[in-house]
Amino acid sequence: MNACPTHGDLLGGYVLGSLEPAEMEEMRVHVAGCPHCGPDARGLGPLPGLLDQIELADVPPPSLSPTIEEAVLDRFARERGPNRPARRRRRLPLRRLAALGAACAAIAVFAFVLLGEDEQDSHAYASAKLAPLVAGSTAGATAWAEDVPAGTRVRLRARGLPAKSMYELWCVRGDGRWVSGGTFRAAGDGRADAVLTAAVRPGDYHVMVVTRHRGGMPGPQLLRGRLRY
Ligand SMILES: [Zn+2]
């Protein structure tokens, strides 16, 4: 959020075009002269256009946890609080909160897309599409593997998993050994977006498997895929 003492809480809504017409006009004039809002608005300017271009199927909906949302709103209220002129020292109207929420969600999606492209295009040495092993399952996942000092960092995006359960990612080595990449949990909508680390090196392993979490031993297998180096 930006540091503008008077109009910071309107900026997100302004950039997304979701304010009332009078406020849009007020912001248009304000942004032109404000040292805080001007640069921020220019930085965020391409956001709505980019969001329109994203195919929804490619991007899981941004899920801000209630804790993160509260933290953002708390910080926002704190930063705004003491310096705010009296006329603005009232509770944020609902539609402003909605605009702020939309702006935060939009920024989350934006960061997510940048991060995703970055990892897929620049750093990943291999990727895998994991398909279901259970008859009738519509679950699936994509994994990207990146070389890090501790071994391999795996970014895993999964969907269609039984909700709120714990899962474990395994890298199956050429010699048959299963190396755990750690555990992750699926959200209430069956999606998961996890960053895990496994002690394997490029070329050591050719298969990734997602199992139910069983604590140390591979549980029942749900998804399996072959690495494409
Ligand atoms: Zn300003």
Distance 38 CA to ligand 1 centre (A): 7
Distance 80 CA to ligand 1 centre (A): 12
Burial of 123 (0-12, 13-18, 19+ CB in 10 A): middle
Q: Is the pLDDT of residue 51 over 70?
A: no
Measured distance CA(221)–CA(207) in Å, rounded:
13
- The domain of 44 spans 8-116
Give strand pairing partners of 211: 168, 221
Name the most confidently modeled range: 82-86, 172-176, 207-211: 207-211
pLDDT at residue 143, rounded to an integer: 92
Q: Around ion ligand 1, which residues have CB less than 5 A away?
A: 4, 7, 34, 36-37
Distance 84 CA to ligand 1 centre (A): 12
Residues 143, 77 share a domain: no
**Which of 20-29, 41-50, 202-211 is predicted with the least confidence, judged by mean pLDDT?**
41-50
Q: Is the pLDDT of residue 213 over 60?
A: yes
Distance 39 CA to ligand 1 centre (A): 10
pLDDT at residue 115, rounded to an integer: 47
Q: Are 148 and 197 in contact (CB under 8 A)?
A: yes
Q: Is the pLDDT of residue 194 over 50?
A: yes
CATH code, domain carrying 189: 2.60.40.200
Distance 88 CA to ligand 1 centre (A): 14
Task: Name the domain boundary from 94, 116, 138.
Answer: 116
Torsion sign across C-alpha atoms 49, 53, 56, 62? negative
**Which of 54-68, 140-154, 206-220 is predicted with the least confidence, judged by mean pLDDT?**
54-68
Q: What is the pLDDT of residues 90-137, one digit of tens each?
A: 445 565 666 666 666 666 555 555 444 444 445 788 899 999 988 888
Distance 52 CA to ligand 1 centre (A): 26
How are the residues of the chain apportioned to helix, strand and coil, as percentages rounded to the nearest 5?
A: 40, 30, 35
Average pLDDT, the chain: 76
- Number of domains present in the structure of the chain: 2
Residues 204, 132 share a domain: yes
- Mean pLDDT for 199-220 is 87
Task: Name the domain boundary from 116, 149, 178.
Answer: 116
Task: Name the domain boundary from 100, 116, 132.
Answer: 116
CATH code, domain carrying 19: 1.10.10.1320
Distance 68 CA to ligand 1 centre (A): 25
